[in-house]
Amino acid sequence: MVDVSIIIVAWNVRQLLYDCLKSVYEQTKGIDFEVIYVDNASEDGSVEMVRKEFPAIRIIQNDRNEGFIKANNRGIKVAMGRYVLLLNSDTLILDNAIAKMVKFADLHPEAAIVGCKVLASNRTLQESCFTCPSVLSMLLSATYLYKLFPKSKFFGREYMTWWDYDNAREVEAIAGVCSLVRKEAIQQVGLMNELYFVYGDDPDWCYRFRKKGWQIFFTPEAQIIHFGGDTVKRVSSEFMLQLHGSKLIFMKLHRTKLAFPIACFLTALFFFSRLPYWLIIALFRKDSRKRSIATAKTYFVGGCYSLASWKSLLMNKQTVEERLRKEILKTSVLSTSTQE
């Protein structure tokens, strides 16, 4: 039996993908694993590189960019492992990290997801655990209080900024950059919600697992390097808007009706409160004026969308409305049947 199916989704990051795959094969010992590569219509020769350099890998080739979540779901559907590992293409595996995660999960049968310590290229810590979106966490984020009081468990609650990630513990949500997911739990809860396209799948999935009685764990014993999203840098404004739109999808699906308009207001507050800073930078720093103006424009647009047309924050806004209606209806039906 395959212990873990390693699923990697990529779009036009050929060199990063090669380095990631090379580290997987060099740094994974003592377990049986398979690698499934899902290509989101890359045009840089990524598929050809994988076929040549890593012939054992199973390739799923999409004819268009279907987004991170849908592509991962395609990989999960054909995965043969007891676990699936969702691994970003801009990562490097360190010191047999995948086997260490499998060992930890085997020792904790109540765990649906296990996350590991994520390091930047300079080996500094990247925060990878957080709480699910809520009115309180969005308020603290909008007002920047978590930056002023990072060691406070209250103000730093959303991204757990008070924690040093040096001990294993149960958490609310794990970032999908490198997450080991139990196949049995997926069969019970279902795949990631494809409403999100990219971002937002992590807290949604973790929330659904926890509602079914599963737990989410972090272990510091396994470590990876994450280079920080080369794909995101190319279209950073769209990804920033998508990130906050994804939080609003979560609020729409999983929080109260009253919480959602408050969340829209707090999202607008987040964007508008940062707008003066970028305008001042654009005014006084010629070397970064172009980038600062572009960033200010993104924050202005984000604030307006949050108040007037929140679905416009999303990359897949053309299809999200009907699918969101169906999701809410399904959630309502399930809730009613549970009460009965």
pLDDT one-digit tens code per residue, 272-311 = 999 999 999 998 888 888 889 999 999 999 999 999 999 9
**If you average pLDDT over every residue of the chain, what do you get?**
89
Distance CA 203, CA 207 (A): 6
Residue 20 has which token pair?
A: 């990631």
Q: What is the pLDDT of residue 331?
A: 52
User: Based on the number of CB atoms within 10 Å of its own CB, is 300 exposed (0-12), middle (13-18) or buried (19 or more)?
Assistant: middle
The answer to whether residue 91 scores a pLDDT higher than 90 is yes
**Strand pairing partners for 114?**
180, 217
Give me the pLDDT at residue 323, please. Answer: 62
Residue 27 contacts residue 97 (beta carbons within 8 Å) = yes
pTM: 0.88
Contact status, residue 286 vs residue 225, Cβ threshold 8 Å? no
Sequential DSSP letters for 12-29: S-HHHHHHHHHHHHHS--
CATH label, 4-128+165-230, candidates 3.40.30.10, 3.90.550.10, 3.40.50.1370, 3.40.50.10330: 3.90.550.10
CA–centroid distance for 2 within its chain: 25
**Higher per-residue confidence, 231 vs 257:** 257
> In this model, does residue 144 exceed pLDDT 90?
no
Taking residues 210-229, report their average pLDDT: 93
DSSP 42: -
Closest CA to 193 of 117, 261, 131, 253: 253
Tens digit of pLDDT for each residue in 172-207?
999 989 999 999 999 999 999 988 877 888 999 999
Extents of the domains making up the chain: 4-128+165-230, 235-335
- The CA distance from 176 to 147, in Å, is 24
Q: Which helix (DSSP H) or strand (DSSP E) does residue 175 occupy?
A: none
